[in-house]
């Protein structure tokens, strides 16, 4: 069975040098992406969970991580080379603790544009996780950012659900 060879989208096929993807001929559609990071803080830190947050000398951990994740999603093109600068229409970071006592961070980004927002959602979830690590490391360094992954994207050529 012959399948078309895939190539990296950020490599110019003529010069073999990195390049920004040309989206000028793409259709404008509503695009969303949802990414998740999972942080394992451990029992020593989780004992400080009161209500829906952990209070530290630096302030409320989850509330601060939500703001940091949102700010990071808006700055994705400043952090990741060749990402298009996007004016996000919405970015929502949600933080919950699951049954395994893991901190689950979901970042949902939305735009009506010619290019998707997967990297914005992944960046938002990642920076929220890093912020939680930073704010909790005074309690313990036994913190693990277990995973960051794209859960779904809609709009554009194809949808994805992982």
Summarised one tens digit per residue, pLDDT across range 28-55 is 999 999 999 999 999 999 999 998 999 9
pLDDT at 6: 58
Over residues 96-102, the mean pLDDT reads 96
Whether 41 and 96 have beta carbons less than 8 Å apart is answered as no
**DSSP 8-state code for residue 18:** B
* Residues forming the active site: 134
**DSSP 8-state code for residue 114:** S
pLDDT at 13: 67
Summarised one tens digit per residue, pLDDT across range 101-152 is 999 999 999 999 999 999 999 999 999 999 999 999 999 999 999 999 999 9
pTM: 0.89
What's the chain's average pLDDT? 91
In this predicted structure, the answer to whether residue 68 has a pLDDT above a threshold of 50 is yes
pLDDT at 2: 45
Class in CATH terms, 29-153:
alpha beta
Domain ranges of the chain: 29-153
Number of CB atoms found within 10 A of residue 28's CB: 12
Cα-based angle 31, 37, 40 (whole degrees, multiple of 5): 165
């Amino acid at each position: 069975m012959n399948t078309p060879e895939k190539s990296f989208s950020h490599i110019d096929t003529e010069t073999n040098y990195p390049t920004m993807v040309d989206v000028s001929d793409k259709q404008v559609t509503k695009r969303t992406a949802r990414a998740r990071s999972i942080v394992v803080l451990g029992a020593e830190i989780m004992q400080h969970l009161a209500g829906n947050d952990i209070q530290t000398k630096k302030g409320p951990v989850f509330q601060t991580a939500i703001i940091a994740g949102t700010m990071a999603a808006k700055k994705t093109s400043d952090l990741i080379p060749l990402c298009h600068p996007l004016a996000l229409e919405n970015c929502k970071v949600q933080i919950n603790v699951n049954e395994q006592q893991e901190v689950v961070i979901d970042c949902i980004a939305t735009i009506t544009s010619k290019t998707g927002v997967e990297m914005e959602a992944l960046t938002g979830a990642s920076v929220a996780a890093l912020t939680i690590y930073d704010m909790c490391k005074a309690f313990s360094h036994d913190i693990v950012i277990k995973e960051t992954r794209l859960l779904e994207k809609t709009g554009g050529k194809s949808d994805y659900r992982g």
